[in-house]
Amino acid sequence: MLNPEHPVTYCLQPGVTLDVNGEDAVLLREKPLQVLRLNASALRLLRQLDGPRPLSDAAVAAGLGVEEAQSFLDVLVQRGVALRRPGLPAELPFVSVVVPVRNRAHDLVECLRSLLALDYPQDRLEIIVVDDASDEDIRAVTAGLPVRVIRQARKSGPAACRNVGARAGRGEILAYTDSDCVVDPDWLTSLVPYLNDPNVGAVGGLIEPYSLTTAIDRYEAVNSSLYMGLEEGEVRPNSDIPFLPTASLLVRRAIWQELGGFDESFPIGEDVDLVWRVRDAGYRVHYVPRGRVRHKYRATLRAFARRRAFYGGSEAFLLRKHTDKRKALVFGWSTLALLVPLVAAVLTGWYPLAAFGAPAPLLDLVRRALRIQHFGASVPFAWIARSLLRDHAAFFYHLCGNFARYYSIPFLLLGLLFPPLLFVWLLALLYPVAYDWTRRRPRLNFPAFLFLYWLELFAHQVGILLRCLESRALGVLVPRLVFIQKATR
């Protein structure tokens, strides 16, 4: 429900256009290709939103009720063709910022100074540091700063520290960051407004490297597990935004209490678990690539690899608890028809077999063109062809990426017994690296990016395999197969 004290504006995503042909009107988006038919009321409303205008005024001008207009626009937001931009409420909520720390006192001081420089009213803000039994004197380095320090008698882990800080705080919003992070002044003012919507349970912002001085920093800038990209959207497991990390996470206290806080049995990955539980409880979780937080990544290869292995172990914990979140391999009929002859050709050594898959993409291209024509949309044929190529490229990227991350080590051993498989193994490891290097344009040459990419993949795989073997839970690595019929709406 809209509240006049909580101004909300909507706009179309960049690259989304209105196509009107007589009585037919559709929304068009090229990447990914989407075609959405509009009725007369929806068209009138969208034409009223060309510029910044209160939604209530736009709805009245379009002859719609405010609730009806908001419901329609929220559907567009969920489909990724529109953005919802809430404004700051007249009365800002009280926010408790919780920072767990173990040692790293110098980093903590820099983090706290950035928090004290936030452009959020100081009388609506408190900062709570939870010292996880550090060897360093955290109280000494924070002396004189207007922050509250709570010291744990013994090391209890980040999840427990975050819960301790939340219980000690007074804020209706709980904001989390890490002691090795520095926040931009607009961190809270960029993210807090999204929690005005009672359907949104959590929100997170952009996380970037603290600096770009090392090759690892430049790699993390585009391929860190904390980096969720530059496109705003909702968190969904097995999507481009699968979770939000606690380096930049805001949660409404009422929901934190409803869910019992962070799961303290998790040594790492407790943020992913909480975000997934927020979604499972029926709340939306939103990612906003603003309110930047700069994170100090581990700068040595050994620390980088160990951290990725640790992350891999945490994924085993997560998949055991959230069995419905297992990795999904999404197949379309044309991709499957293309893939089966290709695999058969490699396994048999009779490569002409691969040609049997060629007609499938052509038939899919015709099917898409006819379907879009049925919508009455004037879509360039090149858009449709590029959409088909992107769909196939993305499918093989996810297929090869999942293979490389979870199965490349045992598959390598199998390939030593059956050498033709080594070609498949090498292709599956090279393709996702080339895809990401081309798409994300890191400030690294390809050999350096390839080395760090493979180091990350193998470290993660070692971590998850060891944890799964230890807990006798290898079954969580079996992917779900999802078959889809349509790619255009």
What six digits make up the tokens of 139? 């109280």
| Secondary element (H or E) of residue 108 | helix 105-116
CB 98 within 8 A of CB 176: yes
Q: Tell me 3's DSSP state.
A: B
What six digits make up the tokens of 21? 């042909």
- Residues recorded for the chain: 489
The reply to whether 105 and 249 lie within a common domain is: yes
- Amino acid identity of residue 431, one-letter, is Y
The reply to whether 44 and 156 lie within a common domain is: no
pLDDT given for residue 6 in this prediction:
47
Domain contains 318: no
pLDDT given for residue 303 in this prediction:
94
CB 415 within 8 A of CB 422: yes
Please identify every stretch of the chain with a pLDDT value under 70, giving residue numbers as ranges. Answer: 1-7, 22-23, 51-53, 331, 375-376, 483-489
The reply to whether 256 and 157 lie within a common domain is: yes
Domain contains 368: yes
Q: How many CB atoms are located within 10 Å of the residue 28 CB?
A: 21
Closest C-alpha to 108, from 130, 81, 124: 130
> Distance between CA atoms of 352 and 343, rounded to whole angstroms?
12
> Distance between CA atoms of 194 and 173, rounded to whole angstroms?
11
The reply to whether 66 and 117 lie within a common domain is: no
> Distance between CA atoms of 135 and 141, rounded to whole angstroms?
13
Closest C-alpha to 250, from 202, 293, 212, 287: 202
The reply to whether 450 and 339 lie within a common domain is: yes
Closest C-alpha to 47, from 33, 61, 37: 61
Domain contains 362: yes
pLDDT given for residue 403 in this prediction:
86
The reply to whether 262 and 343 lie within a common domain is: no
pLDDT given for residue 488 in this prediction:
40
pLDDT given for residue 260 in this prediction:
96
Domain contains 309: no
Distance between alpha carbon 139 and the CA centroid of its chain, in Å? 35
> Distance between CA atoms of 102 and 118, rounded to whole angstroms?
23
End position of a domain, from candidates 86, 121, 152: 86
pLDDT given for residue 450 in this prediction:
96
The reply to whether 355 and 464 lie within a common domain is: yes
Burial classification of residue 41, based on how many CB atoms lie within 10 Å of its CB (0-12 exposed, 13-18 middle, 19 or more buried):
middle
The reply to whether 135 and 277 lie within a common domain is: yes
The reply to whether 201 and 350 lie within a common domain is: no
- Nearby residues of 426 by Cβ (< 8 Å), 6 or more positions away: none
The reply to whether 181 and 128 lie within a common domain is: yes
Domain contains 311: no
Domain contains 3: no
- Amino acid identity of residue 326, one-letter, is R
> What's the total number of domains in the chain?
3
Domain contains 382: yes
Domain contains 304: no
The reply to whether 102 and 72 lie within a common domain is: no
What CATH number is attached to the domain comprising 275? Answer: 3.90.550.10
- Nearby residues of 394 by Cβ (< 8 Å), 6 or more positions away: none
Closest C-alpha to 155, from 122, 131, 185, 189: 131
- For strands 249-252 and 328-332, give the pairing: unpaired
- Nearby residues of 439 by Cβ (< 8 Å), 6 or more positions away: none
What six digits make up the tokens of 137? 């004197």
End-to-end CA, the chain: 27
Give the range of the structural domain holding residue 449, as residue numbers without chain letter. 328-484
End position of a domain, from candidates 55, 86, 117: 86
Distances (CA, A) of 489 to 34, 117, 293, 295, 311: 6, 46, 36, 39, 36
End position of a domain, from candidates 86, 121, 136: 86
**Alpha helices in 145-263, H assignment, sequence order:** 158-168, 187-191, 215-223, 253-259
CB 463 within 8 A of CB 312: yes
pLDDT given for residue 484 in this prediction:
66
The reply to whether 67 and 102 lie within a common domain is: no
Rg (CA), the chain: 25
Tokens 């209706």 identify what position? 172
What CATH number is attached to the domain comprising 38? Answer: 3.90.930.60
This prediction's pTM:
0.88
Closest C-alpha to 251, from 285, 289, 206, 282: 285
